[in-house]
Chain A
Amino acid sequence: MKSPLSAISPATNPHYIILLWIISCLLMMIFLYYFLQVRSDISFFLPEDQSTIDGVMKHQLTQGEAGKIILIALSAAKTSSFSSASKTQASIKQLAEINKKLTIKLKQNKQFITVQNGSLLLQDLIIEPYYRYRYLLHSQPEVSFSNDSLSNSFEHLLQRLQVIPGPVEQALFADDPQMIWLNLLKQWQTQKLQKHHGVWFDQQGQQTLLFVKTRANAYDLKKQQQNIDIIKSSIDTLITAEATIKYVLTGAPVFAMASKKSISTQIKIISMIASFILMAFLYWFFRSLKIILLIGLPLSFAVLTGITCIILIDGFIHGITIAFGITIIGIAVDYPVHLYSHIIFPAHQEQPSQKTVMHSIWPLIRLGLITTLIGFSAITLSDFSGLRQLGLFAISGLLAAALVTRFMLPIIPVKSTTGSKANKHKIQTSAFKRLLFIIHYPLPKFIYSLSIALPVLALFYIVSQQDSLWQKDLSALSPVPEQQKQQDFKLRKAMELPELRHALVLQAATIEEILQHSELLKPQLEQLKQQHIISGYDMANLYLPSIKYQQQQQKILPTEKELSSRLAAVLKNTPLSENAFLPFIHSVEQSKHMQPLLAQSLLSNQEQPGYEQNGSQNFISDKIKTLLFQQNNTSRKFSTNDKIWTAIIPLQGVEQALPMTTINQSVHFPVYGLDLKVQTEAMLSNYRNDALLWFFLGAILILVLLFSQYSKIADLFAVTWPFTGAVILTIASLLLMGHSLSVFHLVTLLLVIGLGIDYSIFMQYTHPESSEVLQSSEVAQVSVIICLVSTLIMFGALSLSDLPVLKAIGSTASLGALYAFLLARCAIKTQ
């Protein structure tokens, strides 16, 4: 009775396999067409919230203010050094005008939450609901309702009435003669840059400055590209023949777009060049376009399968997973290369069937596959979602590539050298012989000793370089060019934008609690300022005090009767009319009885009447939303609710360590210190340690498997030493070249191990004593060279990139493959 499996055996139904493959490809493509979701959110590669600080750091990196700000600097094109002062003044005026027009234009666009250039146009002056609540929100001790204070305020008002006020000013004078609202606005606008013609300029007065805050997060690349395009086209429409203006855009969204463009441009160019060279090389060897296409099939299928599996499991795939994943399953190219090398160059004149060839080399491919899969399966156990997805992608992809090589490629007929035309046969054999010569070239005897000694010495070197072994600085991995980074730094400094590094963090179950804690913390912060430990700080409480504070403010407001009587006394001997200030009396009376301003109403998504100013959100609400947010309550310290409130207090000018112990002792609630640089470095370190742990686990499992396959110590050594030595030599080489290891190096080293095993297995291959199977050890060894050259072409090209991540992957894989080959070559002789 026939086994059911014979129905799907290639022996009985070869075309069934191809049909099955085509259907699976179609199904996967249709599936991906509807369900493919690629994310570029960096938070996916961040650890799960382990602590308060982890959670805040993740929030800052993904949704923090810094990620949404685009800085714009406009300057005149260089004029002659003999320009007159008047020309310079005219240029400043022109720049200021363009700045104002640009600000108005951008404010009309809902893509931007806020646009600030230092000017506060009258139409933007009244910002509800804060204006209405000014008497509850302000903390100006010099302004009170005493007769002296009122008298002082009206004296200033008289000065202002020397000139005709506009309608908005008129309303303000009548409603708020003490100018509490204007003073509040000044306090809230933290930038103290110099201004010309009402807008910000740098110290030298050569650049006019403004910044926009985008609604989209920094990682939403599509929307950020739109935002940048809007800004550029807005500037271009304002530039005229008379005004030759240069502009600079910088900030996290600009960096993200520049990085994306840089990475994709480099990858495209590198891929094109490398693919061309690789195809040329493969054609030189195989002399068949058909074979080259067939070699590409397993890798293509691997990528398709990998993406489909991830989407099925996670619902989305990260961009980094695709980019990195495709790289590390590059080993899938080796499988068909081995197959076709043996098919094209049979040892005997009679060409064996392709399935026979596959049958003879499949155990080697299988062993290499299993060991590689074990290596990658280790990282699927990682706590980091990003690494897990990478591991799954590699496993599913490599498995798919191996199955296609095993079952489908042997079905598709290709011609060997025996059936070829005479010339072609000659050329192919010549190519084969040239490559074989490399294998059989006699090496000096000391090389073999060196192949053992060098990795050992390299290991000692690595141990001695422990301090510089690991990459600690995240910015070193940044694809942003140094010049652009410096430009951004200069502009940020010129604009006195808040630093993004140091902050204090408070957490509480309710908003009111957290606002009250902030108020209690203020004296400590003022003390830090006086001690010059910090130069400034920002907190949500500065814009929105607690309910308790607002109620205290209400208590000290005079009644309508009291205020009227004081007003009458103060204005008695002045030209000012009491009746003109009835709106003021009414406002104070209203403030005395209104419900306090609640944070919940400001932080909700419901737009309130008067909430938007000329199409753009007011900067105050936006500020509060940045500094006060809800997070998952992972620690369950403050409440049993699922969510907890977090307040972040950015600190400026931190020159020395913060006295956290003193701060915590002075208040009765925990205050956490956040140093974003230190935290991201710690996160990077954890990521790397996690990857290292799984890397070693994977390596150990690989060794265990190989141990079970090779009973002789010599054989085991010949298979394991090349990849072990290759890893050590690669790390040592990278250190000698001045590189430190990052998580990208570690994951690429897994690829090196896979390549090393593949090379060792095929280099050690000796054919069984059977007349039906060919003398294929030489073919196996030549096929290894083909694989090596393919790897060197693809990854060598990557190593020439000036992007740190691509360079890391390329140089690690190239060096690793080369060392693995050389050590495997030496292992033939030593065995």
Chain B
Amino acid sequence: MSDYKVFILLFLLLLSGVCTAQDNLQLQKLLSPLAETKHIKLEYEEKRSSLFFKQPQLYQGYIEYISPDTFIKQVAAPNKKKMQIIGDQLTLYHYSKDSSELVQKQVISLDDYPQFKQLKALFMGLFQANISELTRYYHYTINSLADKKTQLRLKSINSNPFTQNKQQNTPFSQQVDIIFNHGDITKITMRGLGGEISELIFDKKVFKQNVLKQNVLKKE
């Protein structure tokens, strides 16, 4: 092989390495405002479409992350529901129809609910700015949008142990689009197969702390 061809090959290899390194740097830069988050609470409005629903459902509630491994999703309206993940333990809270009374509390292993486990992994990856965790389970691309917004697109890898899809020719089982606006997450859209969509819009950050306060979790 002539010298110049070798040079071009080496250059391309170097370039790909540099590109990868630059992508990770870019992701790191994108997630850096979230890094070292100890406690964050975000209010959301959710539009949930599913083949199981008569029509898309609208929910309101909040998502809360408490370092190191607590994730809470509370639906406030139309019917109160709560899901809390601490470590590998999932607690589902069922409330009465008028949402006033806790009817049932179900404590289950997260291993029995793999889709919840994936949700937790996603948010842990984001709020801890844990790139290795995210890249372990997702391919990602970063796109610049209008109004100085940035889109982080995550597609789950087939070898994801959480999902382990049988259909090898399916490109992905889940796609997650996260919109960042000046360091804040404003929208998360999750798409699964078979028409499953969840759009979470974050209007207001209730609070964000880089210092973890004591007794954050209220007993219920």
Question: What residues make up the interface of A, taking CB atoms closer than 8 Å to B?
Answer: 100, 118-119, 121-123, 155-170, 173-174, 182, 186, 195-198, 575-577, 580-581
Contacts of A170 in B (CB 8 A): 51, 192-194, 196
User: A160, B113: Cβ atoms under 8 Å?
Assistant: yes
State in angstroms the CA–CA spacing of A100 and B109 once bound together. Answer: 17
Chain B's nearest CB lies how many Å from the CB of A389?
A: 52
User: A163, B198: Cβ atoms under 8 Å?
Assistant: yes
Contacts of B22 in A (CB 8 A): none
Chain B's nearest CB lies how many Å from the CB of A515?
A: 30
State in angstroms the CA–CA spacing of A165 and B174 once bound together. Answer: 9
User: B53, A121: Cβ atoms under 8 Å?
Assistant: no
User: A162, B192: Cβ atoms under 8 Å?
Assistant: no
State in angstroms the CA–CA spacing of A156 and B119 once bound together. Answer: 18
State in angstroms the CA–CA spacing of A119 and B57 once bound together. Answer: 33
A166 and B163 in contact, given A159-B94, A580-B51, A580-B52 (Cβ under 8 angstroms): yes
Contacts of A581 in B (CB 8 A): 52
**Looking across the interface, which residue of chain A has its beta carbon closest to that of B68?**
A86
Interface residue stretch chosen among B33-41, B143-151, B164-172 = B164-172
B24 interfacial by beta-carbon distance below 8 Å: no
Contacts of B162 in A (CB 8 A): 166
Chain B's nearest CB lies how many Å from the CB of A324?
A: 52
Contacts of A161 in B (CB 8 A): 48, 50, 52-53
Q: A170-B51, A198-B111, A577-B52 are in contact. List 10 more A-B contacts (CB 8 A).
A: A122-B114, A161-B50, A164-B190, A164-B191, A165-B115, A166-B173, A167-B170, A174-B51, A575-B55, A581-B52
Contacts of B196 in A (CB 8 A): 164-165, 170
B134 interfacial by beta-carbon distance below 8 Å: no
B83 interfacial by beta-carbon distance below 8 Å: yes
State in angstroms the CA–CA spacing of A197 and B87 once bound together. Answer: 9
B92 interfacial by beta-carbon distance below 8 Å: yes
Which of A118, A162, A166, A169 is close to B75, meaning CB atoms less than 8 Å apart? A162
> Across chains A and B, which 7 residue pairs bring their CB atoms closest together, nearest first?
A164-B192, A198-B111, A580-B52, A166-B163, A577-B54, A164-B196, A163-B115
User: B73, A162: Cβ atoms under 8 Å?
Assistant: yes
Contacts of A575 in B (CB 8 A): 53-55, 57
Contacts of B161 in A (CB 8 A): 100, 121, 198
User: A162, B83: Cβ atoms under 8 Å?
Assistant: yes
Contacts of A156 in B (CB 8 A): 106
**Looking across the interface, which residue of chain A has its beta carbon closest to that of B58?**
A575
State in angstroms the CA–CA spacing of A375 and B191 once bound together. Answer: 84
B153 interfacial by beta-carbon distance below 8 Å: no
**Looking across the interface, which residue of chain A has its beta carbon closest to that of B52?**
A580
State in angstroms the CA–CA spacing of A123 and B163 once bound together. Answer: 8
Contacts of B198 in A (CB 8 A): 163-164
State in angstroms the CA–CA spacing of A216 and B75 once bound together. Answer: 54
B116 interfacial by beta-carbon distance below 8 Å: yes
Chain A's nearest CB lies how many Å from the CB of B169?
A: 13
B81 interfacial by beta-carbon distance below 8 Å: yes
Contacts of B73 in A (CB 8 A): 162
Q: Which of B47-90 contact A (CB under 8 A)?
A: 48, 50-55, 57, 73, 75, 81, 83, 88
Residues 88-128 of chain B: 1 if any A CB is under 8 Å from the residue's CB, otherwise 0? 10001010000000000010010111111111000000000
**Looking across the interface, which residue of chain A has its beta carbon closest to that of B109?**
A195
A577 and B53 in contact, given A164-B115, A169-B114 (Cβ under 8 angstroms): yes
State in angstroms the CA–CA spacing of A162 and B111 once bound together. Answer: 17
State in angstroms the CA–CA spacing of A158 and B53 once bound together. Answer: 10
User: A195, B111: Cβ atoms under 8 Å?
Assistant: yes
State in angstroms the CA–CA spacing of A159 and B166 once bound together. Answer: 25
State in angstroms the CA–CA spacing of A815 and B115 once bound together. Answer: 71
Chain A's nearest CB lies how many Å from the CB of B215?
A: 20
Contacts of B117 in A (CB 8 A): 198
> How many residues of B sit at the interface, in one of the four size bands?
35 or more
A interface secondary structure, majority = helix
Contacts of B52 in A (CB 8 A): 157, 161, 173-174, 576-577, 580-581
| Most chain A beta-carbon contacts within 10 A, residue among B52, B88, B114, B119 | B52
User: B193, A167: Cβ atoms under 8 Å?
Assistant: yes
Contacts of B51 in A (CB 8 A): 170, 174, 577, 580
**Looking across the interface, which residue of chain B has its beta carbon closest to that of A580?**
B52
A168 and B174 in contact, given A162-B81, A195-B111 (Cβ under 8 angstroms): no
Contacts of A182 in B (CB 8 A): 112
User: B167, A167: Cβ atoms under 8 Å?
Assistant: yes
User: B115, A169: Cβ atoms under 8 Å?
Assistant: yes
A166 and B83 in contact, given A160-B115, A173-B52, A198-B111 (Cβ under 8 angstroms): no
State in angstroms the CA–CA spacing of A37 and B165 once bound together. Answer: 48
User: A163, B119: Cβ atoms under 8 Å?
Assistant: yes
What are 25 A-B pairs with beta-carbon distances under 8 A? A121-B161, A123-B165, A156-B106, A157-B52, A159-B81, A162-B48, A162-B81, A162-B83, A163-B115, A164-B192, A164-B196, A165-B115, A165-B192, A166-B163, A166-B165, A166-B193, A167-B170, A167-B193, A170-B51, A182-B112, A198-B111, A198-B161, A577-B51, A580-B51, A580-B53
State in angstroms the CA–CA spacing of A196 and B193 once bound together. Answer: 28
**Looking across the interface, which residue of chain B has its beta carbon closest to that of A182?**
B112
State in angstroms the CA–CA spacing of A157 and B106 once bound together. Answer: 13
**Looking across the interface, which residue of chain B has its beta carbon closest to that of A86?**
B68
State in angstroms the CA–CA spacing of A577 and B53 once bound together. Answer: 5
User: A159, B192: Cβ atoms under 8 Å?
Assistant: no
Chain A's nearest CB lies how many Å from the CB of B31?
A: 20
Chain A's nearest CB lies how many Å from the CB of B113?
A: 7
State in angstroms the CA–CA spacing of A58 and B48 once bound together. Answer: 60
Contacts of B83 in A (CB 8 A): 159, 162
User: A166, B192: Cβ atoms under 8 Å?
Assistant: yes
**Looking across the interface, which residue of chain B has its beta carbon closest to that of A173?**
B52
Contacts of A576 in B (CB 8 A): 52-54
State in angstroms the CA–CA spacing of A180 and B112 once bound together. Answer: 14
State in angstroms the CA–CA spacing of A100 and B111 once bound together. Answer: 13
Which of A121, A159, A164, A198 is close to B92, meaning CB atoms less than 8 Å apart? A159
Contacts of B192 in A (CB 8 A): 164-167, 170
State in angstroms the CA–CA spacing of A100 and B94 once bound together. Answer: 33
State in angstroms the CA–CA spacing of A174 and B196 once bound together. Answer: 13
State in angstroms the CA–CA spacing of A162 and B73 once bound together. Answer: 9
**Looking across the interface, which residue of chain A has its beta carbon closest to that of B55?**
A575
Which of A123, A162, A167, A195 is close to B88, meaning CB atoms less than 8 Å apart? A195
Which of A119, A158, A167 is close to B194, meaning CB atoms less than 8 Å apart? A167
Contacts of B173 in A (CB 8 A): 166-167
Chain A's nearest CB lies how many Å from the CB of B174?
A: 6
Chain B's nearest CB lies how many Å from the CB of A119?
A: 7
A121 and B164 in contact, given A161-B52, A169-B115 (Cβ under 8 angstroms): yes
Contacts of B111 in A (CB 8 A): 118-119, 195, 198
Chain B's nearest CB lies how many Å from the CB of A342?
A: 80
State in angstroms the CA–CA spacing of A653 and B109 once bound together. Answer: 26
Contacts of A157 in B (CB 8 A): 52
Chain B's nearest CB lies how many Å from the CB of A471?
A: 47
Contacts of B57 in A (CB 8 A): 575
Contacts of B115 in A (CB 8 A): 160, 163-166, 169
**Looking across the interface, which residue of chain A has its beta carbon closest to that of B57?**
A575
State in angstroms the CA–CA spacing of A164 and B116 once bound together. Answer: 8
Chain B's nearest CB lies how many Å from the CB of A107?
A: 12
State in angstroms the CA–CA spacing of A122 and B55 once bound together. Answer: 28
Which of A167, A173, A197, A580 is close to B165, meaning CB atoms less than 8 Å apart? A167
Residues 193-215 of chain B: 1 if any A CB is under 8 Å from the residue's CB, otherwise 0? 11011100000000000000000
Contacts of B166 in A (CB 8 A): 123, 167-168
State in angstroms the CA–CA spacing of A785 and B192 once bound together. Answer: 89
Chain A's nearest CB lies how many Å from the CB of B196?
A: 5
| Most chain A beta-carbon contacts within 10 A, residue among B81, B88, B115 | B115
Contacts of B194 in A (CB 8 A): 167, 170
State in angstroms the CA–CA spacing of A560 and B117 once bound together. Answer: 35
State in angstroms the CA–CA spacing of A491 and B132 once bound together. Answer: 34
User: B53, A164: Cβ atoms under 8 Å?
Assistant: no
Chain B's nearest CB lies how many Å from the CB of A93?
A: 10
State in angstroms the CA–CA spacing of A195 and B170 once bound together. Answer: 30
| Most chain B beta-carbon contacts within 10 A, residue among A100, A168, A186 | A168
